[in-house]
Amino acid sequence: MTKNAIVLGAGIVGVSTAIHLQRRGRQVTLIDRKEPGNETSFGNAGLIQREGVAPYGFPQQLGLLLRYALNNRIDAHYHLGALPSQIAFLARYWWNSNARRHAIITRVYAPLIEHSIAEHKDLIEASQAQALIRKDGWVKLFRTQARRDEALAEAALWQNEFGVEYDSLVPADIARMEPDLTGDFSGGIRWRDPWSVLDPHGLTSAYRRYFESLGGRFVTGDAASFGQFGSGWKIMTEEGPLEAEDAVMALGPWAAVATRRLGYSFPLGVKRGYHMHYAAEGNAMLNNWMLDAERGYLLAPMNRGIRLTTGAEFATLDAPKTPVQLDRAEAVARTIFPLGSRLDPEPWMGARPCTPDMMPVIGKAPRHQGLWFAFGHAHHGLTLGPVTGRALAELITGETPFIDIAAYSPQRFKP
């Protein structure tokens, strides 16, 4: 008899997991309150970051921390009222970001990143989504020589240890690559290996259609109704109650709430982020995904327009939008590129689910049979969706996962 499985959460991680379970003979139902890809997966920078072997750490330098405390930057912003509820998470995040501990975490984290391109390639080809993909890397720009030299030294270490490829850029290279770009940049790095996505929501939608072509189905439902039922699991959907032997929670920033109902207590933090699309003035053209590294925003030439993305906002998950970072970033971006009018009716906002050790939670629920977790991917949800989906599906169906996922086990938090 074919076993049933439900996957809660239809972002890139949930959709990828549903595909890999369906491929392995499970009858899978994907469940979300919204259409697939309409939450966190909608608003990322559109990069499959093969170079992203080191997760984003918490700043350690006292001077930089004091500058962040002024709360006037693009790359980070915080709600003062939210800090009491997040202080325990932030303290553990800061502690794990110490240079020695961060280096250890990077070596454990890197195998996930290493397979990101290959696993996306599999699903991109299967879903016939090649038109959404560019394979020419992305660019990181620096305004000061000191930051450029520091970044190049780090890139050389990553190339030696993790096999990531890069080019060092001087101002003449930047001018040749981006004729419409102005600004006094000292140089940059072009990461060669990453792929970029012209429409992140479109990619998740393509994966969803491929999942349905395999015999899977998507149903609207709310994880608030999810719970144990006999030896399995049950949830109410728009089509009525649905039961399954196995259930995967891939609920992104809402995972902490959903798992708490089942008696777990994961230290999951939230980094919110914003984006806006712009036209280009006249015949101006942006050719590359570009990060203004010392200001903390990214410009990306996507199908919907030039997408500007911000850094991290530390706030409660349900707090109203406060897109001050976007306004600050737009003001700076207009000094280096001729951005035209805004194309979206309002700024988009999403929330990244983050663990204090900067690694995702992937594996079996410690205290329940048939329950599996896949969340906490922070800035690399798009990058790691297919890797996570394959490894977890292999674990669920009794195979040996193609990479060792022991370090990402839910058990590490003793939830």
Q: Indicate the class that CATH gives domain 4-41+201-267+357-413.
A: alpha beta
Residue 213 amino acid letter: S
For β-strands 138-142 and 290-292, DSSP reports them as: parallel
Q: Tell me the CB-side half-sphere exposure of residue 174, using CA atoms within 13 A.
A: 24
Q: Which residues pair with 191 in a beta bridge?
A: 138, 166
Q: Are 75 and 313 in contact (CB under 8 A)?
A: no
What is d(CA 345, CA 367) in angstroms, rounded to the nearest whole number?
45
Q: Tell me the CB-side half-sphere exposure of residue 357, using CA atoms within 13 A.
A: 17
The residue count for the chain: 415
Task: Identify the DSSP state of 413.
Answer: G
What's the sign of the alpha-carbon dihedral 153, 158, 161, 163? negative
Q: Which residues pair with 274 in a beta bridge?
A: 349
Residue carrying the six token digits 């980070």: 76
Question: Which two structure tokens, joined as six digits, stand for 333?
Answer: 């971006």
Vertex 10 angle, CA 35 and 365, to 5°: 150
What is d(CA 36, CA 330) in angstroms, rounded to the nearest whole number?
29
- CA 96 to chain centroid, in Å, comes to 20
Helix (H) or strand (E) run with residue 367 in it: none
What local confidence, expressed as pLDDT, does residue 61 receive? 85
What is d(CA 233, CA 154) in angstroms, rounded to the nearest whole number?
47
Measured between alpha carbons, how far is residue 110 from residues 74, 107, 411 in Å?
27, 5, 20
Q: Are 120 and 195 in contact (CB under 8 A)?
A: yes
What local confidence, expressed as pLDDT, does residue 1 receive? 56
What local confidence, expressed as pLDDT, does residue 211 receive? 98
Helix (H) or strand (E) run with residue 63 in it: helix 62-69
What local confidence, expressed as pLDDT, does residue 404 receive? 97
Q: Do the first three CATH levels of 4-41+201-267+357-413 and 57-196+269-354 match, i.e. the same topology?
A: no
Question: Which two structure tokens, joined as six digits, stand for 294?
Answer: 């010392």
Which ranges of the chain have pLDDT less than 70? 1, 415
What local confidence, expressed as pLDDT, does residue 281 receive? 97
Residue 189 CB neighbours (<10 A): 23
The set of residues, in sequence order, having a beta carbon less than 8 Å from that of 345 and lying 6+ positions away, is none
What local confidence, expressed as pLDDT, does residue 374 receive? 98
What is d(CA 324, CA 72) in angstroms, rounded to the nearest whole number?
9
CATH topology of domain 57-196+269-354: D-Amino Acid Oxidase; Chain A, domain 2 (3.30.9)
What local confidence, expressed as pLDDT, does residue 415 receive? 64
For β-strands 348-354 and 4-8, DSSP reports them as: unpaired
Query: What does pTM read for this prediction?
Result: 0.96
What is d(CA 234, CA 242) in angstroms, rounded to the nearest whole number?
6
What is d(CA 401, CA 217) in angstroms, rounded to the nearest whole number?
25
What is d(CA 257, CA 264) in angstroms, rounded to the nearest whole number?
9
Vertex 33 angle, CA 32 and 39, to 5°: 80
What are the sequence ranges of the domains in the chain? 4-41+201-267+357-413, 57-196+269-354
What local confidence, expressed as pLDDT, does residue 163 receive? 96
Q: Tell me the CB-side half-sphere exposure of residue 33, using CA atoms within 13 A.
A: 8
